[in-house]
Amino acid sequence: MYTILEAMVKIVSFSLVLYGLWLLVGSPFLQSEIESLFRKWKRKRKIRRLQELNTIKEEKEKNAIIQHLELLINSVSKKEKKSVFNFIFLIIIIFLVTFTILISLLGDLVLSISISCIFAAIPYLTIRFRLTTLRLKTQFSFLTEYHNVVQSYQSTGKDIYYTILK
């Protein structure tokens, strides 16, 4: 009990001594210097935050092609977000492999590039086809549900409340 009380007294007394010294020496002489250092620190921190916000905005402003591919891939994928980088890497690999094989077999540059571009477009066209198929399935399922609701509405004597509850 005595040691706890002694520690409390020491903490309070040292705190009061340091505060008194600050009031005597620090406040009149060092206060303006400390306040200017504090203002500089706050200004640097604010500039750093603004720069971080600007870099976040710059990261959000992506290329239109990248945004299109990201939207296309994410709308077709079922579970997790897929990486656009992986898709672009796949297209580049397909292009390079087909171009290398065709240039070594045919020796014609224009024909090799054109056929390689066609082969490289296959993954993009596949994803576009999957998106179109998904949209058509959704439209047809909505159409059948719409007909069911209209039929139920007409069979209940055009009572919308009863149709919704049914």
Pick from 78, 93, 76, 90: which is nearest to 130 by CA? 76
**What pLDDT is attached to residue 144?**
81
**What pLDDT is attached to residue 121?**
93
The confidence band for 114, taking pLDDT boundaries of 50, 70 and 90, is very high
Pick the residue with more confidence: 77 or 22? 77
Residue in the structure block whose two tokens are 């009863």: 162
Residue 26 has pLDDT above 70, yes or no: no
Widest distance between CA atoms in the chain: 97
Sign of the four-CA dihedral 150, 151, 155, 161: negative
**What pLDDT is attached to residue 58?**
54
Report whether 84 contacts 70 (CB < 8 A).
Answer: yes
Pick the residue with more confidence: 59 or 53? 53
Residue 102 has pLDDT above 70, yes or no: yes
CA distance 33 to 27: 10
**What pLDDT is attached to residue 78?**
79
Pick the residue with more confidence: 5 or 85? 85
Residue 33 has pLDDT above 60, yes or no: yes
Pick from 130, 91, 98, 128: which is nearest to 113 by CA? 98
The confidence band for 128, taking pLDDT boundaries of 50, 70 and 90, is very high
